[in-house]
Amino acid sequence: MALNLSLRLSLAHLAYALLIFLYCSSSSSSAVDLLQGSTNRRRPMILPLYLSSSKTTSSSSSDRIVADHNRRQLRNSPPPPNARMRLYDDLLSNGYYTTRLWIGTPPQEFALIVDTGSTVTYVPCSDCGHCGKHQDPRFQPELSSTYQPMKCSVTCNCDSNNAQCTYERRETGDLYTQRADGIMGLGRGRLSVMDQLVDKGVISDSFSLCYGGMDVGGGAMILGGISSPPDMVFTHSDPYRSPYYNIDLKAILVAGKQLKLKPSVFDGRHGTVLDSGTTYAYLPREAFLAFKSAVMKEIRSLKQIHGPDPNFNDICFSGAGREVSKLLEVFPQVDMVFNNGKKLSLSPENYLFRHTKVSGAYCLGIFQGDDATTLLGGIVVRNTLVTYDRENDKIGFWKTNCSELWKSLHYIDPSTPSPLPPKSQSTNVSIPPTVASGGLPHAPAPAPDGLLHTVFPGEFQIGLITFDMSLSINNSYMKPNITELTEFIAQELDVKASQVHLLSFNYKSNVSLFKWAIFPDESADYISNTTAMSIIQRLKEHRMQLPKKFGSYQLVELNVKPPVKPTWWKQNYWAVAVGALVTLVLGLSIFGALLIWRSRHTESSSYEPVNATVSDQELQPLQTSTGL
């Protein structure tokens, strides 16, 4: 089948003829042709990557290479126009990064996993019988004026009627269970988005990915070449070695000590492969055992504990504290040494993930693989700009703060609003009265000036997001179920139900006015910038899709406030409480000891002998009395 795909850019809307795939039945589908367009300027495109949850497992590392979504200051001269978008959330909390693509005319929006280990780009379409439930409605061919089936030819497999092309795709089951709509394949191959854009002269043969750090998220995907930072570390990538992006890894150092391994251990099967669709890293058995042993020798002060999931044999340690910036004081630095002698230094966040049930505990994010391939997933390159220079057969690594990458880009987008105000202020954004019908797909509302594309400064922390929402219910006798509505809002905003609080509620006739608040997770003091950006964008674009029974909703006002600085009393509550308790116990102890001492002293006094010596004057009255 044929349809169009448009890549939204900040300065211009450009579209190119590309080939992607649609799942339109449970067994087969057809290739699709994308919106025609051309340009003679090869400009880099910077796209957004979002995140959706996936918690499945694949049967082998070869499967993971294809699709493993289980646990998942830049310079350019001259600066060309470009699309400046960003990544959202944290890789390990959801499993993989996604980008937003608009397909069809008018465009239909989809979230696609960015996967360097896959070569095809695909989404499910409306008549697929076994494609699972995802975060966006399926592609509806009948709603696209540029859609047309790809007719049968000698270049493809044909259906039984020899009318149109068909194809088959085997996966591990992730396509059915994942929250994301599909996959954007950036691998090597003629069907890859990269290969098609390069063949059409749209971009140069290079792209870059930058994943944000632990608990922060964010980042960017750049399609096209960039001027490499002077201290970027490059290694050779042989396109003939395997169909995947491989690197020449020759040694690993833990705390400056090289593991006693032959270089050939990292060259088995597909070699050492970088795969953005894989969350963790997987080493051959010999390398994994050596790595685990070396790390454990360096952290003997920590206590080894069970992992958060009993279904996995995770290696975890407690007692390291919650501050990511201080992990290097407890865990060792790890270096990957390439064939040219250059090194890529990994901080603890590049090989650890947080224990979800024990505060201050971490688990190894590097596991033993199922075969001889060394597979490096997204965890290894967090806070690292990775440039896939396919034109020169090399891959570069540059340590940076990927969440703040935008501040270092030399691509300035004049349409991007100013950053948020200082901490002392709250941000109030009025929403235009655009109405979205519950349960039905709808076009995003035009974003008002304010937060939609705002880059939060690193020092700004968000403690509370509030928004006013009105619901129009057709049945005037039906009042919305608050608990159920809260759960749906939490699901649509991708937060926990416990974070969504109803502040006020007014009901009149068939219109309900709600004031909602989104609080930080129980384990956090503030909402991460990337999570807040995702929430705000979904609200402002009216992308919440509520069940039809809630009727249509209208967003009225949106507010963002910094965390309330705790008072001295709150900051020292436990110290004061412990001090008061100690004082009380000590006072009671002293008081008790005093009572015991006085009791014993009284008893001792009552048993003293009476003085038998009586003076004559004292006896005189007694004798007189007796005589009477």
Q: How far is residue 468's CA from residue 474's CA, in Å, rounded to a whole number?
A: 20
- Whether the CB-CB separation of 414 and 512 falls below 8 Å is answered with no
**CB 194, CB 250: distance < 8 Å:** no
> Which H/E stretch holds residue 317?
strand 316-318
Collapse the DSSP code of 10 into the 3-class scheme (helix H, G, I; strand E, B; otherwise coil) and give the result.
coil
CA distance 226 to 247: 20
Q: Are strands 13-15 and 272-274 parallel, antiparallel or unpaired?
A: unpaired
Task: Write the DSSP assignment of 227-275 as a string of letters.
Answer: BPPTT-EEEE--TTT-SSEEE-EEEEEETTEE-S--GGGGGSTT-EEE-
- φ/ψ of residue 141, rounded to 5: -55, -35
User: 374-376 and 272-274 as β-strands: parallel, antiparallel, unpaired?
Assistant: parallel
Return the SS3 of 507.
Answer: strand
275 is catalytic: yes
Give rounded-to-5 percent helix, strand, coil for the chain: 25, 30, 50
Query: What are the Cα distances from residue 558, in Å, to 52, 53, 290, 563?
Result: 24, 26, 52, 16
- CA nearest to 367, candidates 20, 119, 90, 64: 64
Residue 217 and residue 51 in contact, taking contact as beta carbons nearer than 8 Å:
yes
Rounded Cα gap, residues 531 and 538, in angstroms: 11
Cα 290–291–297 angle (5° rounding)?
90
140 three-state secondary structure: coil
Half-sphere exposure at residue 392, Cβ-oriented, CA atoms within 13 angstroms? 12
Of residues 90, 181, 275, 389, which has the active-site annotation? 275
Rounded to an integer, what distance in angstroms lies between the CA atom of residue 227 and that of residue 327?
32
Annotated active-site residue in 90, 115, 181, 494: 115
- CA-atom Rg of the chain in angstroms: 33
CA dist 473 and 552 (Å) reads 7
Distance, CA of 261 to CA of 244 (rounded, Å): 24
Give the residue numbers marked as catalytic: 115, 275
